[in-house]
Chains A and B, each alone.
Chain A
Amino acid sequence: MDAARLAARGLIVFLWILVAGCGGENDTAALETGTLRFVADGEDFVRNGFTASDGWRLTFRHFYVTLEDVKAYRTDPPYDPRSGKEIDGDAAASLPGRHTVDLAVGEQPVTVGVVGGVPTGHYNAISWNMVPATEGPSKGYSIYMDVLAEKDGVSYGFVLGIEDSYRYCGGEYVGDRRKGFVEPDVPGELEMTFHVDHLFGDGEQPEDSEINRAALGFGPFAGLAAGGVERGDLLSLANRLSPDDYGKLSDILPTLGHTGEGHCLCVVR
């Protein structure tokens, strides 16, 4: 009888420790908060310029994108954009407002905004809308690039504005290091990456590489320029580009948004 009572007491104490240990860690994690920084990156292609697949040397004087409704998620299982569905679950961190950033300036990804007081953890999914700017030089356009193109001693200035809106849902950032870890004393970072080489190709890659086979190059835009600075938006390009080139442009634009090298689900709005 004494033995049974002693065993029962020991069992109760052990179970209490077990339950308290499990619950305690979760409770602490739920209370902890940190800071999450959202950045946008056009990579060295936009910052330093590059040679397109058809040999045009491109230098970006400006490359504006306008972003809003930027949200970060902690998903389990990790969100997979190939599912074709939006990210399931409530965002744990949201960046309010509409933000226009110039990806051509500086040497690093551009800070879009910082959100404090977000729950700690690994933010492995992100969604954002790319929408027309309501003010500033890119007003009316979600993407606005001012590019100097040079080839064989000929140079053109070309300003391309995209008036459509795009919604992106991406999974975990894929790059040199993992991102999205928010700790109480260590800010986390999530990146919206824009791959302009998908549009113009990459002269450093083989001509028959996947990226160059799918890219438009700069040639179709150069054909429109009569000298000086040429301007174009989707509405005007629909009539000025060949149907094949315009179709290619329309297909490529939704693929610009990434999370590092990770691709995104995109809905054109």
Chain B
Amino acid sequence: MRCALASRLFVLLVPVMVVSTARAHGVRVFWELKGDSVFVHASFDDESPMAGARVAVFSGAEPSEPWITGYTDDEGCFVFVPDRRESSRWDVRVRKAGHGDIVHVSLDAGGNCSGGRSGFSIPQIIIMSACVIWGFIGTAFFFSARRRHG
């Protein structure tokens, strides 16, 4: 029911909401980020849902092995909650009866220093760096104060 509603929303709001689309010989796969969840909707070219299609989700940290697998429901929907700590980039493969495609999900537009494999975004790195720097400063002041008063 929830997915059916999402499916209708996809149809109604595709022009303004769809983040990414893919199509390969009669297959259309859309994804949308809602809160922490990624909603994937797959249909054939005639708009009939790809019900029972095989789905494999790959993390950017381990792109060659599926992070999770499953099947679309009767409405052609599949929902998963990616682990943002693992990667900000996810690939979703949907296949049925010789038709299929892969869509690429980006949880944020930020990059990072290790080419997408560490799973840390730039804001995360900045915050972590600030914490470490603050630790150095605090430690230095602690020993300085001890020396002064000792």
Residues of A participating in the B interface, judged by any CB pair closer than 8 Å: 2-4, 6-7, 10-11, 14, 18, 21-22, 25-26, 29, 77-78, 80, 82, 122, 171-172, 174-175, 177-178, 181, 205, 210-211, 255, 260-263
Contacts and interface: CB of A to CB of B under 8 A. Distances in A.
Contact of A3 (B93, B99, B140): B140
B24 A262 contact: yes
A21 to B, nearest CB: 8
A29 B144 contact: no
Contacts of B63: 122, 178, 181
Given A174-B24, A174-B100, A177-B64, 20 more contacts: A3-B141, A4-B140, A6-B139, A6-B140, A6-B144, A10-B140, A11-B133, A11-B136, A25-B113, A25-B114, A25-B115, A171-B102, A174-B95, A174-B102, A175-B95, A175-B100, A210-B46, A260-B100, A262-B100, A262-B102
A7 B140 contact: yes
A173 to B, nearest CB: 9
A262 B24 CA distance: 6
Nearest to A197: B98
Contacts of A181: 63-64
A178 B92 CA distance: 11
B140 A261 contact: no
A22 B95 contact: no
7 contacts: A2-B144, A3-B144, A4-B140, A6-B139, A80-B22, A174-B101, A263-B23
Nearest to B104: A78
Contacts of B113: 21-22, 25-26
B104 A77 contact: yes
A263 B25 contact: yes
Contacts of B137: 3, 7, 10
Contacts of B147: 2
Contacts of B44: 210
Contacts of B30: none
A7 B114 contact: no
Task: Give the bracket for the number of chain B residues in contact with chain A.
Answer: 35 or more
B114 A18 contact: no
B23 to A, nearest CB: 6
Closest 5 CB pairs of A and B: A22-B113, A3-B144, A10-B136, A6-B140, A7-B140
B129 interface: yes
Nearest to B64: A181
B139 A10 contact: yes
Nearest to A178: B64
A26 B111 CA distance: 14
Contact of A18 (B46, B102, B129): B129
B59 to A, nearest CB: 12
Interface string B127-150: 001001100110111011101000
A11 to B, nearest CB: 6
A6 B143 contact: yes
Contacts of B22: 80, 82
B67 to A, nearest CB: 12
Contacts of B141: 3, 7
B94 to A, nearest CB: 9
Interface string B101-136: 110100000000111000000000000010011001
B70 interface: no
Nearest to A77: B104
Contacts of B140: 2-4, 6-7, 10
Contacts of A80: 22
Contacts of B143: 3, 6
Interface in B12-31: 22-26
